Structure 1
């Protein structure tokens, strides 16, 4: 059963507090003989101002780890802290506030609203939070991802790489403590993927952004500062700045 202990998240942005921390986290789906343990006592932390990639074979638990770390799913046992806040038993209202103000999300499918322009998509999180947003604010964020001249375009008028950069701008407009990315280059061609990965690297280096990214692509993982490997719901390896070939070799060994 998912824990229901109530928490009062108290966000910290000091350098010595990890962007995300998991303590003995388990996540089980189902009951009895059909129960599946997607995460099995995972303890790890993701440092501030660093980019961590999470990899593993299909069914290893990497997407579940991302969802639990971001508060999208509850845990069966253990604790999850985001920017120092224990969110393990946070209420729906507290989690909504956390996801709006402290966490940014980027997904493979972009999740842009087709009827809105790029500027309007970027401004949406702030508007949903009841904040006034000027066109200048949206333009500045779009300019930071290289789309200063695409603000009035709707998603259908943009390439896949441009749409993903709009999605990144939307995620960053609230200045989140941590950015969670789920296969952010999975739907892109190689050229667009390189552009997006270069943008993520720039965000880490120049803005001190913390990023946790799930990917199946060794080249994308090699762009990160470190790579965490999962297998059967457990952390089995960790590599600092590996090459794409080293990542592919380790992943192939896990799949075997």
Structure 2
């Protein structure tokens, strides 16, 4: 299966290389009669500087695709490439180092540490990676998400949208090759969701960040450059720059 159109856009000067690529990836759970195939021979490449939304009915394999691409789950077959790194051949120590330096992850539930300030939460990936902590860098990253005045606030003192922006700052402080987002607006009200989506768009358009985002929200998906649709562990459709109405119609067709 070739990579769907829209996941590898072209720019002046030629073809854009992939930031992350799945080649004939399958992921199974269970054994024999109880075996479930969450991903089924999926091949797709996500170009550098692109934003791709992944959608599909419940159980279609969206989160499994995200976790396999990020090296959080072992594939049953196939190959996952993160730039020049083969995640499927990497040892545990190498995988851990790559996840800390090359991959950023944003979750629906924010996953901030309640006892730490916004500034301390953003510092955490640098500490875990054993990198020198630059206060200037942390302040710059918080400023980039509009929270430089909230650096000393703890999560309970921040709104949901502000907490998610801290989570994005934390994911971006190591300047990752790819930012993976799992339902990043799922716990937010509509106004906060729009702010977060605007921030993600700025990261892509202004900084050339690569983002792969799982979402159930057609409006969130329509903010991305392209949308992949999964069903029964396979990519069954794709759309380049669709409207929210077009996304909703295609998703309804899969769910029906």
Partner of 2:244: 244
Residues 53 and 227, structure 1, Cα contact 8 Å, conserved in 2:
yes
Partner of 1:229: 229
Distance in 1 (alpha carbons) for counterparts of 2:84 and 2:194: 32
Partner of 2:142: 142
Aligned-partner SS, 2:148: coil
Distance in 1 (alpha carbons) for counterparts of 2:133 and 2:94: 23
Distance in 2 (alpha carbons) for counterparts of 1:84 and 1:214: 24
How do residues 9-28 of structure 1 correspond to structure 2 at under 5 angstroms? 16-28=16-28
Partner of 2:102: 102
TM-score by length of 1: 0.93
Distance in 1 (alpha carbons) for counterparts of 2:145 and 2:50: 19
TM superposition shift of 1:58: 0.2
Aligned-partner SS, 2:156: helix
Partner of 1:217: 217
Distance in 2 (alpha carbons) for counterparts of 1:140 and 1:205: 18
Q: Which contiguous aligned blocks of 4+ residues in structure 1 show a shift greater than 6 angstroms?
A: none
Partner of 2:76: 76
**Which stretch of structure 1 is more off in the superposition, 229-238 or 87-96?**
87-96
Partner of 2:5: none
Distance in 1 (alpha carbons) for counterparts of 2:129 and 2:61: 32
Unaligned runs of 5+ in 1: 1-14
Partner of 1:124: 124
Distance in 2 (alpha carbons) for counterparts of 1:81 and 1:129: 21
Q: Deviations over 1:146-186 (max 9, x none)?
A: 00100000000000000000000000000001000000000
Distance in 1 (alpha carbons) for counterparts of 2:215 and 2:181: 8
Partner of 1:6: none
1:170 paired with 2:170, answer yes
**Which stretch of structure 1 is more off in the superposition, 193-202 or 79-88?**
79-88
Aligned-partner SS, 1:188: coil
Unaligned runs of 5+ in 2: 1-14
Partner of 1:12: none
Question: Superposition RMSD on alpha carbons, in Å?
Answer: 0.9
Partner of 2:202: 202
TM superposition shift of 1:135: 2.5
Distance 1:134 1:84, change over 3 A: closer
Q: Deviations over 1:87-122 (max 9, x none)?
A: 113111111001001000000010100111000000
Q: Deviations over 1:29-72 (max 9, x none)?
A: 00101100000100111111010000000000010000000000
Residues 20 and 84, structure 1, Cα contact 8 Å, conserved in 2:
no
Distance in 1 (alpha carbons) for counterparts of 2:134 and 2:29: 44
Distance in 2 (alpha carbons) for counterparts of 1:171 and 1:83: 18
How do residues 47-86 of structure 1 correspond to structure 2 at under 5 angstroms? 47-86=47-86
TM superposition shift of 1:73: 0.1
Aligned residues: 242
Distance in 2 (alpha carbons) for counterparts of 1:54 and 1:157: 32
Aligned-partner SS, 1:19: strand
Aligned-partner SS, 1:180: strand
Distance in 2 (alpha carbons) for counterparts of 1:134 and 1:208: 23
